[in-house]
């Protein structure tokens, strides 16, 4: 762990990889996936030049080149290959649905998509290819690799020996990646992160938590999600840790076995996935971890307790971030892990809390720092930059004197009931406290008498309002936070990142209200 130097942390992405090789050793094995063929720093740089040169021949400098790939060695080589030749990786979320994928490509002006025959076949994504082909050229990496000949390999070997002489020079302020927000509450937005945003966030994390270059980072999260890209790829590669990339967090039985087999030290996860891993894992499969970092959604007490009891007290560090912040804003540490918080603000981040009408004890969080995005993509190709460098997180939080963050809820996740502001997150926590093994989502619907009312969508069979109300009285929860309407579903919709899909949940509540209204009229 070292002091954070904001100026020194801001580098061009490819140059940062080259600098890491110089610091940690050219032959250090740094990248691996389920194929179990580890690459050293030099192997990675050589492969990036070889593939990047082929991509450069069919694209333009500065072009937004889309990547449609799972977490793997291939996606990492492609990412750095684009950087070596001045192209901008544009990460497509293959779980976002056809409408959102189309909107993302149109917004980013995508003319070429890089993917893999094997991935498309295994994931059965032919409908996405059918959507993309009229809009852009779809290029398969297997076909490109087949064209790499002896001359290409010789050039790549020379380039890996003298990378800064062969790579396209880039400024830290140049675009580093285009990502798309999760769409939890509406249409995804295109976020442009500069190269300095990415490298600065890595340095901020490394200044906040002690990391050991001998460790192995296991990343099952997708690189189209900023947590998976920065935390699962950039952070380990730039700090000397081996990155083990795994293509899907949904492989619940395989991942615990691989954690043991790979000697993993760190695991990136979300609460939903981690809870599932913990339930099926043997005691020795997670106990070798130094710690686990969770983001994207609140970590339940049940998950904390499950990991602590079954796996020798491995700490679960809850963190907090946003795509617009590259993404980490705050995270707990192994030495200071405060349950119920999302940790301390990273060094170099300024924060301010703006008052929110009707909510006391917290405010709307705005953040500013070297990791805050260049801006949102606009339809005309320009950027909508943060006002004065401040990003509005849309979250209502409490901030302790030592800059530790406790989230009260999103601004959008409050309902006004009988003139009182009620946190929908608190209502979800109430349901979780009585039925911890189930997934719950609370949304608000119009109410002619009280303004709004709470609706709980849950996969808990037999869930009822009477039990919720009684439990609320026992624990002293406010009566207004008790949902009076409960919809029992086979499953609560989630996004590919593990977050609750509130857009789909809201539609479920509206459909139920519509069908109930029709039944009454009949």
CB atoms within 10 A of CB 104: 26
Is there a domain that residue 443 lies in? yes
CB atoms within 10 A of CB 151: 8
Is there a domain that residue 487 lies in? yes
The token pair that represents 32 in the structure block: 């691996």
H or E element, residue 73 = helix 73-84
Percent helix, strand and coil across the chain, each to the nearest 5: 40, 25, 35
Q: Identify the CATH number of the domain in which residue 430 sits.
A: 3.30.300.30
* Cis, bond preceding 327 (omega within 30 deg of 0): yes
What pLDDT is stored for residue 518 in this prediction?
59
Question: Pick from 259, 268, 254, 171: which is nearest to 226 by CA?
Answer: 268
d(CA 342, CA 331): 6
Q: Which residues pair with 180 in a beta bridge?
A: 190
d(CA 455, CA 486): 6
Is there a domain that residue 140 lies in? no
Is there a domain that residue 515 lies in? yes
Question: Pick from 395, 428, 384, 251: which is nearest to 321 by CA?
Answer: 395
d(CA 215, CA 372): 28
Is there a domain that residue 508 lies in? yes
CB 185 within 8 A of CB 410: yes
What pLDDT is stored for residue 267 in this prediction?
96
CB 247 within 8 A of CB 72: yes
CB 447 within 8 A of CB 427: no
Is there a domain that residue 438 lies in? yes
Is there a domain that residue 459 lies in? yes
What pLDDT is stored for residue 353 in this prediction?
95
pTM of the model: 0.85
Q: How would DSSP label each residue in 464-498?
A: -HHHHHHHHHHHT--GGGS-SEEEE-SS--B-TTS
What pLDDT is stored for residue 30 in this prediction?
97
Domain with 460, as residue range(s), is: 418-521
d(CA 487, CA 314): 36
Number of domains in the chain: 1
H or E element, residue 15 = helix 13-24
What pLDDT is stored for residue 53 in this prediction?
96
Q: What totals of helices (H) and strands (E) does the chain contain, helices first?
A: 20, 26
d(CA 368, CA 428): 30
Q: What is the mean pLDDT of each run of 10 residues along the chain (522 residues)?
A: 80 97 97 96 97 96 97 97 98 90 94 97 95 96 95 94 94 96 70 97 96 97 94 98 95 95 95 91 91 90 89 91 95 94 96 86 93 94 93 92 89 66 77 85 78 86 84 75 87 78 82 69 51
d(CA 439, CA 300): 11
Q: Which residues pair with 392 in a beta bridge?
A: 366
Question: Pick from 164, 223, 166, 176: which is nearest to 200 by CA?
Answer: 176
d(CA 193, CA 96): 20
Is there a domain that residue 423 lies in? yes
Q: Which residues pair with 338 in a beta bridge?
A: none
- β 359-368/391-399 pair status: antiparallel
């Amino acid at each position: 762990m070292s002091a954070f130097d904001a100026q020194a942390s801001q580098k061009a992405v490819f140059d940062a990889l080259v600098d890491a090789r110089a610091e940690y050793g050219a032959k250090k094995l740094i990248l691996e996936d389920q194929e179990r063929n580890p690459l050293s720093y030099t192997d990675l740089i050589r492969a990036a030049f070889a593939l990047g040169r082929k991509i450069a021949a069919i694209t333009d400098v500065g072009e937004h080149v889309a990547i449609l790939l799972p977490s793997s060695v291939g996606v990492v080589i492609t990412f750095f290959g684009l950087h070596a030749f001045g192209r901008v990786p544009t990460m497509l979320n293959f779980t976002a649905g056809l409408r959102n994928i189309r909107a993302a490509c149109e917004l980013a002006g995508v003319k070429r998509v890089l993917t893999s025959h094997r991935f498309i076949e295994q994931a059965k994504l032919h409908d996405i290819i059918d959507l993309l082909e009229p809009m852009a050229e779809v290029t398969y990496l297997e076909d490109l690799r087949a064209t790499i000949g002896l001359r290409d390999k010789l050039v790549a070997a020379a380039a890996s020996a003298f990378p800064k002489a062969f790579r396209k020079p880039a400024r830290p302020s140049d675009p580093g990646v285009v990502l798309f927000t999760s769409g939890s509450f509406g249409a995804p937005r295109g976020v442009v992160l500069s190269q300095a945003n990415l490298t600065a966030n890595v340095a901020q994390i490394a200044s906040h938590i002690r990391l050991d270059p001998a460790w192995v980072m296991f990343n099952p999260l997708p690189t189209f999600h900023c947590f998976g890209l920065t935390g699962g790829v950039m952070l380990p590669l730039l700090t000397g840790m081996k990155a083990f990339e795994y293509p899907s967090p949904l492989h619940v039985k395989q991942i615990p076995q691989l954690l043991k087999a790979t000697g993993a030290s760190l695991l990136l996860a979300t609460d939903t996935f981690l809870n599932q891993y913990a339930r099926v894992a043997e005691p020795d499969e997670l106990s070798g971890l130094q710690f686990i970092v969770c983001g994207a959604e609140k970590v339940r007490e049940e998950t904390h307790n499950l990991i602590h009891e079954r796996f020798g007290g491995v700490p679960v560090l809850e963190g907090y971030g946003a795509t617009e912040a590259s993404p980490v804003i705050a995270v707990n540490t192994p030495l200071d892990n405060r349950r119920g918080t999302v940790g301390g603000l990273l060094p170099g981040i300024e924060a301010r809390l703006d008052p929110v009408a009707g909510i006391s004890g917290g405010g709307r969080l705005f953040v500013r720092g070297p990791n805050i995005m260049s801006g949102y993509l606009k339809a005309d190709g320009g950027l909508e930059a943060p006002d004065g460098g401040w990003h509005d997180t849309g979250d209502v939080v409490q901030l302790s004197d030592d800059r530790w963050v406790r989230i009260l809820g999103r601004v959008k996740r409050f309902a006004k009931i009988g003139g009182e502001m009620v946190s929908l997150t608190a209502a979800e926590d109430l349901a979780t406290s009585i039925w911890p093994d189930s997934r719950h989502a609370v949304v608000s619907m119009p109410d002619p008498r009280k303004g709004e009312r709470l609706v709980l969508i849950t996969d808990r069979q037999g869930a009822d309002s009477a039990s919720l109300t009684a439990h609320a009285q026992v624990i002293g929860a406010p009566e207004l936070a008790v949902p009076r309407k409960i919809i029992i579903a086979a499953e609560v919709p989630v996004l590919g990142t593990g977050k609750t899909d509130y857009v789909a949940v809201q539609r479920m509540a509206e459909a139920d209200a519509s069908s109930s209204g029709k039944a009454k009229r009949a």
